[in-house]
Amino acid sequence: EVQLVESGGGLVKPGGSLRLSCAASGFSFINAWVSWVRQAPGKGLEWVGRVKSKAVGGTTDYAAPVKGRFTVSRDDSKNTLYLQLNSLKTEDTAVYYCTVEVGNPSFDYWGQGTLVTVSS
Amino acid sequence: DIQLTQSPSFLSASVGDRVTITCRASQGINSYLAWYQQKPGKAPKLLIYLASILQSGVPSRFSGSESGTEFTLTISSLQPEDFATYYCQQLNSYPSFGPGTKVDIK
């Protein structure tokens, strides 16, 4: 059974930092492209960033609103995905989901999400 | 950047109705379009990928089609568990989502 379990969310002040983790199991993590997607309260889905598999270079891509502030990384030895959030703004408040592409161009599996609240 | 629009933003329907949701891309996306269903407080669920391929385990009342840069999600006979918000997503370039269509009970 595929499982993605996020952790690390919480309340942080504007300008602060946070690191989210996503533990994966039940599929070949090393071959998957993994992304973070967020959803602000009452709003739609927004792709945040991704890291490709090492087989295609392990490169990262980011959405414009987070580029330069957020960093996506992976540890294939631990089947874990990370999202480092720096210089947080109130508009970064959202539920953050990790999600994976395991062969088809689609986000096949999703975690349950972790809430990040940026407020003074 | 590729922009996606969805119509309608909201629709009210009854059980048994045929429902159609449209997603338009600002440029060609080579069929790299997926559809997701999201219920309140839950993560999105993949329904369709590559515009028309049904994800394993998804009921056959869901179908997808495309015509150029216009994509359609159809639910042939709406069931009580289908009341949710539906999002399209393109993966031809950096992924992006449409704004969503909420399907509510009439």
pLDDT digits (tens, 9 = 90+) for A7-51: 999 999 999 999 999 999 999 999 999 999 999 999 999 999 999
Instruction: Render B30-98 in DSSP notation, one character per residue.
Output: TT-EEEEEE-TTS--EEEEETTTEEPTT--TTEEEEEETTEEEEEESS--GGG-SEEEEEE-SSS-EE-
Residues A108-114 have a mean pLDDT of 97
Whole-number pLDDT of residue B84: 98
Q: What is the mean pLDDT of residues A83-106?
A: 96
Query: Residue A75: what pLDDT?
Result: 97
What token pair was written down for B33?
A: 């379009």
pLDDT tens digit sequence for B1-38: 899 999 999 999 999 999 999 999 999 999 999 999 99
Tens-digit pLDDT profile for residues B39-79: 999 999 999 999 999 999 999 999 999 999 999 999 999 99
Tokens of residue B103, six digits:
């399907």
Counted residue by residue, chain B has a size of 106
pLDDT value, residue A65: 97
What is the structure's pLDDT at B19?
98
Residue B106 has pLDDT above 90, yes or no: no
Query: Does B95 contact A47 at a Cβ distance shorter than 8 Å?
Result: yes
Strand ranges for chain A from DSSP E: 3-7, 10-12, 18-25, 33-39, 45-51, 60-62, 70-75, 80-85, 94-101, 109-110, 114-118
Q: Which of B52, B47, B54, B26 is nearest to B101 (CA)?
A: B47
Confidence category of residue A5, pLDDT binned at 50, 70, 90: very high
Measure in Å the smallest separation between the Cα of A67 and chain B Cα atoms: 13
- Which of B101, B98, B102 minimizes the C-alpha distance to B25? B98
Residue B83: pLDDT band with limits 50, 70, 90? very high
Q: Is the pLDDT of residue A113 over 90?
A: yes
Output the six-digit token pair for B86. Answer: 């539906």
Q: For chain B, list residues whose CB is within 8 angstroms of any CB belonging to chain A.
A: 1, 32, 34, 36, 38, 43-46, 49-50, 53, 55, 87, 89, 91, 94-100
Quote the mean pLDDT of chain A. Answer: 97
Query: Which of B47, B66, B94, B101 should one mutate to test binding to chain A, selecting the residue with the greatest count of A CBs within 10 A?
Result: B94
Which amino acid belongs to residue B54? Answer: L
What local confidence, expressed as pLDDT, does residue A103 receive? 85
Give the torsion through C-alpha atoms of B6, A94, B46, B15, to 10 deg.
-60
Q: Which of B39, B49, B62 to mutate to test the interface with A (most CBs of A within 10 A)?
A: B49
Residues of B in contact with A35 (CB under 8 A): 95
What's the rounded Cα separation, in Å, for the pair B52 and A57?
Answer: 30
| pLDDT value for A40 | 98
Task: Read off the pLDDT band of A54 (50, 70, 90).
Answer: very high
pLDDT for A33: 96
Place of tokens 């580029």: A67
Chain A residues with CB-CB distance to B55 below 8 A: 106, 108
Owner of token pair 């967020």? A38
Residue B99 pLDDT exceeds 90: yes
Closest among A113, A105, A51, A116 to A81, alpha carbons compared: A51
